[in-house]
Amino acid sequence: MEAISELVVSYLLNGTWQITVIAALGFFCDRLLRHRIPARYRHVMWVVCLGACVCVPLATVWFQANASASAADVTTALQPPAADLPGATGRILYRFHARSHAVWFPANLLAVLVWGYAVFLIFRATGFTWSYLRTVRIRKRAYQRAIPRTLARAWEECTSSFSVPPIPMLCSTEVGSSSTLGHRKPVLILPECFFADEVGVQESITALAHELAHVRRGDFGLNLLYEAASMPFCFHPAALFIKARMAQTRELACDEMAASLLPSATQYARSLLRLAQTRLAAAPAAKASYALGLFDAGALEERIMNILDTNKKTGKWARTRMLLAVSLMGVTSLAICGFSVRVADRASADTRRFVGTWETQYKGRAFFTLNLKEENGALGGTCLHVTRVAYVDGELIPGTEETSQEQITEARISGNKLELKIGDRADPILLEFVLTSDNSADGKPIVGESPDGPPPPKKPWHFQKVSANP
C-alpha cells in the first residue's frame, strides 16, 4: 500500500508541471498553425496534447518504478561503475533515476493526498456517469414529429452531400440547438422551432450540415473517450484549457466541412450568425450532457473568422506543418520524462537520518569528521581524518596532527547501523557507525589481525552531529 501511495503522489507531482509544459507547447504550436492550415489538423494537434497529458505522467511513474528496481543494487554506492548494471536498459533507467529529484513526504501527508485524490476520482466518475445517463434520457425523451417541407429539403440535400446512412431526426424541448447523440446509432435532435418552420432553408442546411459533420467524424464517441481519458487530471487548469481548445477546434473543423454545402463560405457564416441571433443560442442548452450542440463550444467570433479565412493551405504543406507540430510535441514529451520528481521511499527516509556532519574529538579537538550527504537516494560524502592513530588503553586515538580528506566510496545501511568504506586505495578505512540517538552515534574502525597494525579497539568513538546538511 505504501508503494502504491508513493506512485500515486509521484504521478500527481509530475503531472502538475508536465501538463503545464504540454499545454504551453500546444498553445505555441496552435498560434503557429492558426489561419494557415485547416482546423482539423489543429484539432489533431490538440488531441495529441491530450494524449501526452495522459501518457507522459504515467510513463514517468513507470520509468521511476523500473529505475528504482535497476538502481537497487547500487543505491548505496557513490559512483557505481556502469558495467555493474544489468545491461543497457539498466544503465538507461539508472541514469533516469539519477536525474529524478527525490522529495520526502510524511506518511500521514501521503495518506491524505492519496485518499483525497481517490475521493476526487470517485466524484468525477460519478459526474461522468450522471452526464452520460442524462444524455441517454434526452435521447429516450426525444420524439418524432412531422417534418415540414423546408426542413425536409435541407435534410435531403445534406444527407446526399455527406453520403451518410439515414439517421433518425427527432424533436426535443431539452436541447437549445441542433445536437448529435450516439455513436454506433447516432440520432439528430432538433429544437421545436425547426419543426414549426421558423428556420429558413439556408439556416437549416447550416445547422444540419454541421451536425452531420459530427456524425461523419464520429465526434460523439471520441468525445466520450476524451472525457474518460482526461478524468485523472481534469483538476488541472491547463488540462481544462486543452479540452476547451479541442472542443473549439472540433467545431471549427465541422464548420469547414459544412460550409462546402453552401454556395460560399460567406453565406455559411451569415447563416451561422443568424442562427446565433435567434432563440437557438439564447435557449437553455442541455446542461451536463454529452450532446454535441451547434453552439455548445462557444467561440462564435473565432468560428466566423475561421470560415471567412481564405488563406488556408491544404495538401502536403498542411500535413507537413501538422506533423512537425506533433513531432515537436512528442520530442518534448520524451524530454520532460527524464526530469521528474519522485517520492522518496522508506530507504531514502532511513538514509536521511545519517545525513549531516559528524565528528569525534580527543582532548577537545576533532580528529575524525564525517560529512555524509544524500545524493540521488544514495549516501556518500567525505571523511577528514588524521593520517595515523595510536592504540592506548583499548582505544584508538590520534597519533599525529596531520590530516587527510578522502571520499566515502561505499555506504551500507542496516537499521541504525551504517558500514562505511573510506578511500579507494588498496587498504581503505572500514568504519562501523551506529546511531544511538538523532544527534549522537558510536563508531568503531574495523581493523584486521595484522601484527603490524593496531589491535581491534575495545572502546568506540563517540560521534556528535555538529550540523545537518541539506
463: pLDDT strictly greater than 60 = yes
Same domain for 318 and 229?
Answer: yes
Reported as a single tens digit per residue, the pLDDT across 221-278 is 999 999 999 999 988 999 999 999 999 999 999 988 888 777 788 888 888 888 887 7
Q: Are 384 and 445 contained in the same domain?
A: yes
Q: Enter the pTM of the model.
A: 0.70
Q: What is the pLDDT of residue 105?
A: 76
Rounded-to-integer distance, Cα 394 and Cα 34, Å: 82
Q: How many angstroms separate the Cα of 449 from the Cα of each of 170, 455, 457, 460?
A: 96, 7, 11, 18
The yes-or-no verdict on residue 142 having pLDDT over 50 is: yes
Instruction: Give CA angle at 272 (266, 276), nearest 5°.
Output: 145
Q: Is the pLDDT of residue 468 over 50?
A: yes
Residue 306 and residue 437 in one domain:
no
User: Of 314, 344, 374, which residue sits at a domain end?
Assistant: 344
Q: Please check whether residues 229 and 130 belong to one and the same domain.
A: yes
pLDDT at 6 over 70: yes
- Tell me the angle at which helices 265-277 and 201-217 cross, rounded to the nearest 10 degrees: 100
- Find out whether 259 and 270 touch, Cβ atoms under 8 Å: no
Q: Specify whether 426 is located in the same domain as 292.
A: no
Residue 77 has pLDDT above 50, yes or no: no
Last residue of a domain, one of 281, 314, 344: 344
The model's confidence at residue 82, banded by pLDDT at 50, 70 and 90, is very low
Last residue of a domain, one of 344, 369, 404: 344
Burial of residue 18 (number of CB atoms within 10 Å: 0-12, 13-18, 19+): buried
Mapping DSSP onto H, E and C, the string for 247-306 reads HHHHHHHHHHHHHCCCCCHHHHHHHHHHHHHCHHHHCCCCCCCCCEECCCCCCHHHHHHH
Residue 334 and residue 463 share a domain: no
Judge if 286 and 377 occupy the same domain: no
Residues 1, 132, single domain; the answer is yes
Does residue 379 share a domain with residue 288? no
Mean pLDDT highest for which of 155-164, 283-292, 313-322? 155-164
Evaluate whether residue 180 is within a structural domain.
Answer: no
For residue 383, being part of any structural domain is answered with yes
Residues 361 and 262 in one domain: no
- Name the grid cell of 23: 499545454
Lowest-pLDDT range, 35-39, 98-102, 225-229, 269-273? 98-102
Q: What are phi and psi of 251, to 5 degrees?
A: -65, -40
| Residues spanned by the domain of 241 | 1-142+205-344
Task: Tell me the angle at which helices 316-337 and 2-33 cross, rounded to the nearest 10 degrees.
Answer: 150
The bridge status of strand 365-375 relative to strand 378-386 is antiparallel
Judged by average pLDDT, the poorest of 125-134, 191-200, 258-267, 313-322 is 313-322
Give the number of other CB atoms < 10 A from CB of residue 457: 18
Question: How far is the CA of 173 from the CAs of 132, 192, 281, in angstroms?
Answer: 18, 7, 14
Same domain, yes or no, for 322 and 431? Answer: no
CATH number of 446's domain: 2.40.128
Distance CA 98, CA 85 (A): 14
**Does the structure show a pLDDT above 50 at 46?**
yes
Number of domains in the chain: 2
Comparing C-alpha atoms, which of 118, 14, 2, 116 is closest to residue 64?
14
Same domain, residue pair 269 and 357:
no
